[in-house]
Amino acid sequence: MKKAVYPGTFDPVTNGHLDVIKRGSLIFDMLVVSVGCNPLKDALFSVAERMEMIQEHVKDLKNVEVDSFQGMLVDYLKKQKTNIILRGIRTVSDFEYEFQRALTNRVLNKEVETVFVMTSEQYSFLNSTLIKEAVSLGGSVSQFVPPNVERRLAQKFKHMYRKNTE
């Protein structure tokens, strides 16, 4: 059985992420979408919230599970009993960054393989930071994220906006 881990912060999950998940589910027998806790990033959503948002959209994909991890990805791969990482690539700059990560992971564990999937062209410019910025400025992101994610973003920024104006 070929099992892969698709790690990310998914803060929030976008249509681009969901595209990679669906396509990864066709490539691998089992795909674990794992929300990473990165201490270098300030997340807007909690790990539990991010996992819930993803789970709502993968519940019909029988070979996909949602999990979370802290620490080194290579250690998490051992826990999951796999050596395969799935990563989505949008641009050349993504490739450079992901290539460095893949090589670092391979140095940390020579058995680790990273499989790159090109995102679909309609999602090639998407990233969570741009989406959060658009929502914070009052923009609509309905074409970039599922409705449940858009609602949660609006709630977060409405709440944050109230805090900042008090």
| Residue closest to 29 by CA, chosen among 59, 55, 64 | 64
Burial of 158 (0-12, 13-18, 19+ CB in 10 A): exposed
Asked whether residue 10 is marked as a ligand-binding residue, the answer is: yes
Asked whether residue 26 is marked as a ligand-binding residue, the answer is: no
Q: Do residues 80 and 5 touch, judged by C-beta distance below 8 A?
A: yes
**Active-site annotation holder among 41, 151, 158, 159:** 41
**Active-site annotation holder among 57, 90, 132, 152:** 90
Instruction: Return the ∠ at Cα 145 (arms to 165 and 159), rounded to 5°.
Output: 15
Q: Do residues 11 and 45 touch, judged by C-beta distance below 8 A?
A: yes
- Whether 159 is a known active-site residue: answer no
Asked whether residue 98 is marked as a ligand-binding residue, the answer is: yes
Q: Do residues 90 and 119 touch, judged by C-beta distance below 8 A?
A: yes
- Whether 25 is a known active-site residue: answer no
**Active-site annotation holder among 25, 34, 50, 128:** 128
Asked whether residue 128 is marked as a ligand-binding residue, the answer is: yes
- Whether 23 is a known active-site residue: answer no
Asked whether residue 41 is marked as a ligand-binding residue, the answer is: yes
Asked whether residue 127 is marked as a ligand-binding residue, the answer is: yes
Asked whether residue 126 is marked as a ligand-binding residue, the answer is: yes
**Active-site annotation holder among 17, 57, 132, 152:** 17
Asked whether residue 111 is marked as a ligand-binding residue, the answer is: no
Query: Is the sign of the CA dihedral 100, 38, 46, 80 positive or negative?
Result: positive
Cis peptide upstream of residue 12 (ω within 30 degrees of 0): yes
Asked whether residue 85 is marked as a ligand-binding residue, the answer is: no
- Whether 128 is a known active-site residue: answer yes
The catalytic site residues sit at 17, 41, 90, 128
Q: Could you list the residues known to form a binding site for ATP, using ranges.
A: 9-10, 17, 88-90, 98, 123-129
Q: Could you list the residues known to form a binding site for substrate, using ranges.
A: 9, 41, 73, 87
Q: Could you list the residues known to form a binding site, using ranges.
A: 9-10, 17, 41, 73, 87-90, 98, 123-129
